[in-house]
A and B are shown apart, each in its own frame.
Chain A
């Protein structure tokens, strides 16, 4: 009994900040957490990385989150409309898409047109996932560019062999060499991944620039620490970490 009480009391001392963040932020946010925790030994940052759509669902079902960082403004707006957000969300970073193929390029994809060749195994994030929706927008935009067949969009989408639940699973399927190609964020091509995949750049005219909003969750158990976290993400040091991880700084 006393032991339990002691545990409870002791538990109140350090702050456990709970950050719900889009899967694509995994590496950058872990790095940010490391430097924040080094500054303040009483601060513990716990992450829940998943597709933004899953995070909105979890917060909506009462998950005790303090911060929500979404990979698109649509899911942030859904969260706002459902009354899950405190204050106004702020765009903290931007991201672009890139096509990746496994090292060795089994399907011999040399240019974007090759994605429409029959038999190519393409993996995308599901269209509920921001990365998946952006990827489909990009394919649609490509199909209207000169040099692409008019049925390009239909053919590329016909080559999709799996709709993954988040963008990091797309990267994993390409990394393992099981998919011939995948579309991910530039920031997903981490140094570790870069050794095992080749990149095929998308032209700016077709690329979708994703804006990532961040906000404090309504009734956040640690609202103060949550504000501190967001301030750091928006600060020059936070932005530098994000830029180092392949994101486009928003400030």
Chain B
């Protein structure tokens, strides 16, 4: 039995934190009547923003997996010069204000940016396009995938891949048939976190991609725009965003592979 004071402190800490985290969500939920909510959510601007958000965030997740997996593999299995620097570099977007990311993206990939000329030669002009939305989302969402995937791959015991190699497996076979399946829970968890982060991306998007319905106005931007003259629409959109993000995170916890996330080191499971 813990002393009373410890229990009181525990309960107080949990209650306070729950208040800070849950109360804003609950407030969004109770603000509008169901009828009003339904009416707001059926507005074309809401549906357009929802469609664009889903489209771009899914594209972002695919790009993040394709480009992030090799980097995570490198970070988890190899030792090389500059590894710590690379690690810090891929983690920077987590702590950077997204607006700063947006300014950086403009100065790098904008028309007048460092790489602007090279992009133009390829016929690409990024700012104010849907592609720019994806680039901004990839910038902010990648670290979440890399961290989870790196940890997942690193936790696979070396002897399984070694055994596969001893039995004549090519490195490719070893990666796709042995390593990846074992690290899959973490890889999927990382992908889900990246997806959720991409869905919520605001600052880098509005700075780098601008704000135009149907092209670059994702749900967070639509919330911000609506907030300036239509509180009810803003609340409805916010609620939709909360529900979407919460579903992704909840799905992550309840998925069959979810239990393994952050758990014991991965081992092969019998069929």
Contact = CB atoms under 8 A, between A and B. Distances in A.
Interface in B214-230: 215-216, 224-225, 227-229
A51 interface: yes
Interface residues of B, number: 19
Contact of A160 (B110, B112, B212): B212
**Interface size bucket, A side?**
20 to 34
Contacts of A126: 211, 225, 228
A163 B106 contact: no
Interface in B94-112: 106-107, 110-112
Interface string A88-107: 00000000000000100010
B228 A106 contact: no
B210 interface: yes
A178 B209 CA distance: 10
A123 B127 CA distance: 12
B229 A178 contact: no
Tell me whether chain B's interface is mostly helix, strand or loop, or mixed: loop
B219 to A, nearest CB: 16
B106 A176 contact: yes
Contacts of B145: none
A128 B229 CA distance: 7
Interface string A70-114: 000000000000000000000000000000001000100000000
B211 A165 contact: yes
B139 interface: no
A192 B159 CA distance: 63
Contact of A177 (B112, B224, B227): B112
Given A106-B111, A176-B112, A178-B127, A163 B211 contact: yes
A121 B129 CA distance: 11
A162 interface: yes
Contacts, number: 55
Contacts of A194: none
B225 A128 contact: yes
Contact of B228 (A54, A173, A177): A54
A54 B211 CA distance: 16
Contacts of B210: 123, 161-164, 173
A177 B110 CA distance: 8
A211 interface: no
A128 to B, nearest CB: 4
Nearest to A177: B112
A121 B228 contact: no
A53 interface: yes
A163 B128 CA distance: 10
B206 to A, nearest CB: 7
A57 interface: yes
A240 to B, nearest CB: 33
Interface of A: 51, 53-54, 57, 102, 106, 121, 123, 126, 128-129, 160-165, 173, 176-179
Interface of B: 106-107, 110-112, 127-128, 206, 209-212, 215-216, 224-225, 227-229
15 contacts: A102-B112, A121-B128, A128-B225, A128-B229, A161-B127, A161-B215, A162-B210, A163-B211, A164-B210, A165-B206, A165-B224, A165-B225, A176-B112, A178-B110, A178-B128
